[in-house]
Amino acid sequence: MQYGLIGEHLGHSYSVPIHRLISGEDYELREIAPADLGTFMIRKEFRAINVTIPYKQDVIPYLDEISDTAREIGAVNTIVNRDGCLYGTNTDAAGLQALIARVCPDIRGRKTLVLGTGGTSKTAVYTAKVMGAEPVIRVSRSAREDAVTYEEALRDHRDAEILINTTPCGMFPAAEDMPVDITGFPELRGVVDVIYNPLRTKLVLAAMRRGIPAEGGLYMLVAQAVRAAEVFRGIRYEEGLTEKIYRRMARDKENIVLTGMPGSGKSAVSSILGARTGREVIDTDRMIVEKAGMEITEIFRRYGEKHFRDLESEVIREAAACAGVIISTGGGAVLREENVEALRRNGRLVWLDRKPEDLVPTDDRPLADSREKMAALYAAREPIYRATADERIAVTGSAEDTADETESRWNA
């Protein structure tokens, strides 16, 4: 192996595409069992590697030299083989510093809570202190000498201004979880979550709804990778490379979610976009039919609308967990807040807005099988579509025209 990443489980890693965008060189993922780590490190059959969970501390005894940053944090994520001598450092701190600066440019003197007491929390405490945060308080589920409990944080530190989540709470597949209720911290000025799968955790979305700057961990992942690649090769990359690669990764991983009235063209537009981009197309109405084993009209006739909506929420949770796909939703998908939140975790919602007089009622749409029903439905749902949309595209031409506009907005 020339360059790569070692860890125990790497199935969800984004490191290969990120490093290929940085250098264009091959970058491998190498899963290593704990019992085999020693052999791998002693053989030193690599030029440079990154290290992830659970080996960031375990690799230290095999190193000949370690940076001050890595020594202070107590964790190494980047190792370079210099003619048989292994040098280790920590670029996670640089990545997190870039993410914090993006969310809240100046945290000097601001009370900062670091959620979690694992290895990443040490990086967060170190980084927040380096950036001037004061005080920096760790928060743990259980009482510890150097950390307060969540109950104590809500009681004694309601004036916290910065929140950094380093716990896995909210990470796929437990995306419904949230480490803390941020309404307990009314002075918050910024929320940082190191989780990048999903792109926006429940914690990040809760902060964004309240107008608090917040972001997930993808930017940190890219920034630390750029710094690691510089350490690998002993060079400096051009200013702005992190931002450039982050935008590319975010666009590639984010789902295109089409919303809008029945008959607005979601299915046709998603098919066209899928063919053009190579992205998988997921149709949530089709998923419901497959899961129920019957057509939607039959579900409504036998079990009523609530049963249908429950099925819809179930399939939306499944679809929303995907990354880099196109999701064509049913007309009522955005009626439930839980659906909108699930879709937002990895997606951008694009509302295809076709005028009600141009919508064609059909018999297979129980709530829109006449012009009168269609017009009433549009009047009731238009404010919801508008409020939940990240992008609104007026549908005035062909499906090709709408796909052109959608693609143009996406790539802007």
pLDDT digits (tens, 9 = 90+) for 100-135: 999 999 999 999 999 998 889 999 999 999 999 999
Residue 111 to residue 302: CA distance in whole angstroms? 56
Q: In Å, how far are 68, 78, 79, 81, 128 from 231, measured between CA atoms?
A: 14, 8, 9, 11, 23
pLDDT band at 140 (very low <50, low <70, confident <90, very high): very high
Q: Report the Cα 367 to chain-centroid distance in Å.
A: 34
C-alpha dihedral over 99, 100, 105, 106, to 10 degrees? -160
pLDDT at 365 over 80: no
Q: How many CB atoms lie within 10 A of CB 343?
A: 24
pLDDT band at 369 (very low <50, low <70, confident <90, very high): confident
The pLDDT assigned to 200 comes to 97
Neighbour order of strands in the sheet with 162-165? 147-149, 136-140, 112-115, 162-165, 190-193, 214-215
- In terms of Cβ atoms closer than 10 Å to its own Cβ (0-12, 13-18, 19+), residue 286 is middle
For residue 56, indicate whether it is catalytic: yes
Check residues 344 and 363 and name the one with the higher pLDDT.
Answer: 344
The pLDDT assigned to 374 comes to 87
Beta-carbon contacts of 228 under 8 Å, excluding residues fewer than 6 positions away, are 48, 50, 77, 78, 91
pLDDT at 144 over 90: no
Residue 259 to residue 330: CA distance in whole angstroms? 7
Q: Which DSSP symbol is given to 144? A: B
The pLDDT assigned to 320 comes to 97
- In terms of Cβ atoms closer than 10 Å to its own Cβ (0-12, 13-18, 19+), residue 403 is buried
The pLDDT assigned to 363 comes to 77
- Between 239-253, 329-343, 365-379, 380-394, the lowest mean confidence (pLDDT) is in 365-379
User: How does pLDDT run across 176-222, given as a tens digit for each residue?
Assistant: 999 999 999 999 999 999 999 999 999 999 999 999 999 999 999 99
pLDDT at 368 over 80: no
Rounded mean pLDDT of the chain?
95
Q: Which two tokens stand for residue 121?
A: 């929390």
The pLDDT assigned to 253 comes to 96
Residue with tokens 């975010």: 250
- Between 64-78, 141-155, 363-377, the lowest mean confidence (pLDDT) is in 363-377
**Vertex 407 angle, CA 379 and 242, to 5°:** 120
The pLDDT assigned to 12 comes to 86
The pLDDT assigned to 44 comes to 97
Q: Which DSSP symbol is given to 237? A: P
Residue in 53, 67, 30 with CA at minimum distance from that of residue 228? 67
The pLDDT assigned to 146 comes to 87
User: How does pLDDT run across 15-37, given as a tens digit for each residue?
Assistant: 999 999 999 989 999 999 999 99
Containing H/E element for 270? helix 266-277
pTM of the predicted model as reported, rounded to 2 decimal places: 0.92
The answer to whether 99 touches 93, Cβ cutoff 8 Å, is: no
The pLDDT assigned to 370 comes to 83
Please tell me whether residue 208 adopts helix, strand or coil conformation: helix
Query: Which residue type sits at 96?
Result: L
The pLDDT assigned to 76 comes to 96
**Vertex 278 angle, CA 276 and 283, to 5°:** 95
pLDDT band at 155 (very low <50, low <70, confident <90, very high): very high
240: left (phi over 0), alpha (psi -120 to 50) or beta: left
The pLDDT assigned to 412 comes to 82
Phi, psi of 70 (to 5 degrees): -65, -40
Q: How, if at all, do strands 347-353 and 255-259 pair?
A: parallel
The pLDDT assigned to 279 comes to 97
Q: Do you find a cis peptide bond into 173, omega within 30 degrees of 0?
A: yes
Please state the rounded mean pLDDT for residues 138-152: 90
User: How does pLDDT run across 237-249, given as a tens digit for each residue?
Assistant: 999 999 999 999 9
Please tell me whether residue 366 adopts helix, strand or coil conformation: coil
